[in-house]
Amino acid sequence: MERFVDAAPSVRLWVEDRGATDLPPLLMIMGAQASGLGWPDELVDKLATRHHVIRYDHRDTGRSTWSFDQRPYPLTELAQDAVTVLDRLGIEQAHVVGMSLGGMLTQLLIADHPGRLLSATLIGTSALSTTPFVHPDGTRTSPEDLPGIAPQLLEMWARPVEDHGLEAELERRTEHWRALGGNQLPFDAEYARALELKIIKHTGHYATSTAHARADTSGMDRTEQLAQTSVPTLVISAPAEPVTPPPHAHHLAQAIRGARIVDIPGMGHALPRAVHTSLARAILNHTTKA
């Protein structure tokens, strides 16, 4: 079922839910500049066998309100949007899965709204914590000294996005997914292109939002709260991750009290068909235990 919910004055969010409403709710939070349709239907349907699954478009993505240029907001406000989605659907507690920026927003929920979470799963993200990473040999590395984003991606992100028509935009987005996917799994260009075409049709245009890249990032540190949380947390480790490369996932698992980590072989910063089964299995095992 699709609907719109009011998140703030003049801000509406597109929301879709799948699965029986008497199943435990599972809220899926996508990354920066990404529509909720960035969660592939095949993955959502696997999770909907055991959950009432909710996905939504962030502000300035998909069918939700694009208003950043008129009313800028901090990234922390996007975390409040997630709470608002639950409120509007009458859901008191939910399992939450967040990817990339969505993983950061999920950490804000763990820290600031622990009573609303039945569990948390974090994918392709870095810790909102200043806790050093402890290597197996006992040496420590500060978070700012952990490996950074792959140079290829930084170079792609530095290029201005110019309008050369729909086909050129689909090609650009497909190549972006190729880079995000890493180098361990075969890249399915047709699958990536079809996903982006669906997102463009859903949105109604192919303009690219830069709102989340321009939003205020202050006030995100949650070192103490994450170290003390009782929210059952799963961290997905992706060995081919080019945005938050190893050992970011292990650092995240160290920074969050009680977190456990599961490796998805070959996975990068993307959700190709090849990882759907293993990723869904990891999430469902975690939510069942939680």
Mean pLDDT of the chain: 97
* Tokens describing residue 228: 């003390």
d(CA 236, CA 246): 11
Residue 270: its pLDDT value, please? 98
Residue 210: its pLDDT value, please? 95
Residue 10: its pLDDT value, please? 92
Closest by CA position to 191, among listed 172, 206, 210, 178: 178
pLDDT in tens, 43-53: 999 999 999 99
Residue 88: its pLDDT value, please? 97
Whole-prediction pTM? 0.97
3-state secondary structure of 119: strand
Tell me: cis bond preceding 247? Omega within 30 of 0 counts: yes
Q: Which residues pair with 14 in a beta bridge?
A: 4
CA distances from 58 to 30, 37, 102, 249, 270 (A): 8, 11, 10, 24, 18
Structural domains present in the chain: 2-149+209-289 (3.40.50.1820)
DSSP string, 133-162: EE-TTS-EE-GGGS----HHHHHHHHS---
d(CA 260, CA 50): 21
Strands annotated E in 137-184: 140-141
pLDDT in tens, 78-102: 999 999 999 999 999 999 999 999 9
Crossing angle between the packed helical segments 166-180 and 151-158, to the nearest 10 degrees: 160
Give the 3-state DSSP-derived string for 45-57, with helices as H, strands as E and coil as C: HHHCCCCEEEEEC
Burial 129-147 (b: 16+ CB within 10 A, else e): bebbbeeeeeeeeebeebe
3-state secondary structure of 95: strand
More confident residue, 161 or 280: 280
Kind and range of the H or E element at 8? strand 2-8
pLDDT in tens, 194-248: 999 999 999 999 999 999 999 999 999 999 999 999 999 999 999 999 999 999 9
Residue 240: its pLDDT value, please? 98
**125: phi then psi, degrees, rounded to nearest 5:** -140, 170
pLDDT in tens, 48-67: 999 999 999 999 999 999 99
Residue 77: its pLDDT value, please? 97
Inter-residue contact 103 to 97 (CB < 8 Å): no
Number of H helices, E strands in the chain: 10, 10
Residue 200: its pLDDT value, please? 98
Closest by CA position to 79, among listed 104, 96, 53, 60: 104
Tokens 């009573």 correspond to 115
**How many CB atoms within 10 Å of residue 123?**
28
Inter-residue contact 4 to 56 (CB < 8 Å): no
Closest by CA position to 35, among listed 200, 273, 236, 270: 200
Work out the pLDDT band at 253, boundaries 50, 70, 90: very high
Hey, what amino acid is at 231? V
pLDDT in tens, 117-175: 999 999 999 999 999 999 999 999 999 999 999 999 999 999 998 999 999 999 999 99
